[in-house]
């Protein structure tokens, strides 16, 4: 079963520092998978912490398709794509919102970033600072941090994506301030 657990946060300068009026919480180190999901249909488990929602943890669960990934209820830099093979899942990560991004992208220029074989787990971490407006009328920034936890497991346990033990990690975090 192919599982994508997407944990992400978006914030502005108002909540970026420890002395901020509403300091932003750190992303959790994975979360328990919802009960009752198994079978051949890939699973999307999304958790978000957005400043615009007072950093209230919002969790959604559903089938993972290119449409559900790109058209979530809150727009995000959906820069992950995948191709499911007989024995593995090929994962590709593209540059997020190049016209808005104001930080260096440390990711690969093109092509797959990893192959996740059955029984393997992968964690991709990335962050960026973006202009709030593509047209340049609003020169303020917003920040995003993403943890993409990917698994290809025959019988996933609920805690299969909690922690990092035994997980391959691709760290693309950069200085965003």
* Residue 35 included in any domain: yes
Q: Indicate the pTM of the whole model.
A: 0.89
* Residue 161 included in any domain: yes
* Residue 8 included in any domain: yes
* Residue 177 included in any domain: no
Of residues 128, 149, 150, 132, the one with CA closest to residue 141: 132
Residues facing 68 on adjacent strands: none
Tens digit of pLDDT per residue, the chain (177 long)? 899 999 999 988 877 665 666 667 788 899 999 887 766 779 999 999 999 999 999 999 999 998 888 887 778 877 899 999 888 999 999 888 887 888 888 887 777 899 999 999 999 999 988 887 666 666 688 899 999 999 999 888 999 999 988 899 999 988 876
φ and ψ at residue 80, rounded to 5 degrees: -105, 140
- Which single residue is written with the structure tokens 């200085």? 175
* Residue 33 included in any domain: yes
Specify burial of residue 101 (Cβ count, 10 A radius: 0-12, 13-18, 19+): middle
φ and ψ at residue 60, rounded to 5 degrees: -130, 150
* Residue 29 included in any domain: yes
User: What's the CA angle centered on 175, arms 174 and 177, to 5 degrees?
Assistant: 145
How many structural domains comprise the chain?
1
**Cα–Cα separations (whole angstroms), residue 135 to 23, 138, 139:** 29, 8, 9
- How many other C-beta atoms lie within 10 A of the C-beta of residue 80? 20
Tell me how far apart the terminal alpha carbons of the chain are, to the nearest angstrom: 38
Helix/strand/coil for 172: strand
* 13, HSE (Cβ side, Cα atoms, 13 Å): 7
Helix residue ranges, H only, 74-120: none
What domain range is 40 assigned to?
2-172
* Residue 36 included in any domain: yes
* Residue 98 included in any domain: yes
């Amino acid at each position: 079963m192919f599982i994508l657990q997407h944990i992400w946060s978006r914030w502005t300068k108002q909540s970026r520092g420890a002395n901020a009026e509403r300091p932003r919480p750190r992303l959790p180190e994975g979360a328990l998978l919802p009960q009752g999901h198994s079978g051949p249909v890939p699973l999307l488990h999304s958790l978000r912490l957005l400043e615009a929602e007072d950093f209230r943890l919002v969790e959604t669960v559903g089938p993972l398709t290119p449409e559900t990934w790109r058209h979530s209820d809150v727009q995000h830099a959906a820069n992950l794509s995948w191709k499911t093979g007989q024995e593995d899942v090929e994962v590709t990560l593209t540059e997020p919102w190049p016209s808005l991004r104001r930080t260096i992208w440390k990711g690969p220029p093109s092509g797959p970033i990893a192959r996740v074989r059955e029984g393997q787990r992968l964690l991709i971490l990335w962050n960026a600072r973006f202009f709030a407006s593509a047209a340049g009328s609003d020169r303020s920034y917003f920040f995003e941090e993403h943890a993409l936890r990917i698994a290809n497991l025959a019988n996933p346990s609920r805690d299969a994506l909690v922690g990092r033990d035994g997980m391959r990690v691709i760290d693309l975090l950069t200085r965003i301030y």
